[in-house]
Copies of this chain bind each other. A is one copy, B any other.
Amino acid sequence: MHLPTLRQLQFLCALADEKSFSRAAEVCNVTQPTLSSAIKEVEAILGVQLVEREARGASLTRAGEATVERARAILSSAADLVAAAHQAGAPLTGHFHLGAIPTLAPFLLPRTLADLRASHPELRLYLREDQTERLIEGLRNRTLDAALIALPWQAGGIETETLGDDEFLYIGPKEHKLSTAKKLAPEDLTSEDVLLLEDGHCLRDHALSVCSLSPTGNGSNVGATSLATLVQMVAGGLGVSLLPRIAAEAGVTAGTDVAIRRFDTPVIGRQIGIAWRAGSPREKEARMIGDCVRKTLSDRAADGAGLEARV
């Protein structure tokens, strides 16, 4: 079977991006006729018209769209092959870019990073804190090698591994009736002013689903920008909220006068996991980091009494 060249596929993808032969050629650092004839040859190999030549630029046919999609996957795999081989030549070297969501990073990373530095001093970690969508995007475009996020989260071409559970705790002003109620269940919050993070944080969605609130019609529509802010707002008497146990244990409420309590039946609000691009040459390192996080999480579980002691 006659295959198109990777280079030709690159040209095709550039053309798909630029919708113009000349601009695509420029992007690829070749002249327009070169790219033009390359595309023509791909069309000949495939026996289908891929590009519609129009007065102003070019557009892809249906077959072209489908082909470009496959071509991108192939080029990505090829890039992975190269990266993986480089990696094999110099294992655990180079920068590793790790992302984490804002409701995890400040509470999980300090301990995990210390562990990692101790056990794998040769790993050069670069960190990025962002919301899940952007982290996934980062994995896709290779600006990130792995990301710590809340699971489940399905995304095409992304693989994940679960590292542990995170419980949701109630927090509220000390004088709030729920803070001292006999019993406490997530449903009790439904009729309260529940403070939430601003839109885009997955924790917001998890919190909403735990107390069966609709995304829109609840009282408080100003969102906190961070968990620290959220705690301040609760302390200021603006309402009650849910706090991930991992944040509580890291002392996010230190110095404020709020009540924290577990629900009568513990609420596993979210799972903590690590994600990487399927086929990433860094998968092994990602799993290794995952193991380290898992250890951090289970160490915490072991001395779980610590929480009750503090609150």
**Chain B residues near A48 (CB-CB < 8 A):** 85-86, 88-89
Say whether chain A's binding surface is mostly helix, strand, loop, or mixed. helix
- Whether A5 is near chain B, meaning CB under 8 Å from some CB there, is yes
Which one of A73-81, A95-103, A187-195, A262-270 is at the B interface? Answer: A73-81
In the bound assembly, the distance between CA atoms of A88 and B81 in angstroms comes to 29
Do A81 and B74 touch across chains, with their CB atoms under 8 A apart?
yes
Given A46-B85, A70-B279, A73-B77: 15 more A-B contacts, CB < 8 Å: A1-B79, A4-B78, A47-B86, A47-B89, A48-B86, A50-B85, A62-B88, A63-B89, A66-B84, A66-B88, A67-B85, A70-B77, A71-B81, A74-B78, A74-B81
Point out the residues of chain B lying under 8 angstroms from A71, CB to CB.
Answer: 81
How many copies, total?
2
Interfacial chain B residues near A254, Cβ < 8 Å: none
Cβ-neighbour of A77 out of B5, B77, B86 (below 8 A): B77
Residues facing B in A36-83 (CB within 8 A) are 45-48, 50, 62-63, 66-67, 70-71, 73-75, 77-82
CA distance A50 to B84 in the complex (A): 12
Size bracket of the A interface: 20 to 34
Give A75's nearest chain B residue, CB to CB.
Answer: B3
Bound form: Cα–Cα A6–B279 in Å: 18
- Name, among A2, A62, A88, the residue most crowded by chain B CB atoms within 10 Å (CB to CB): A88
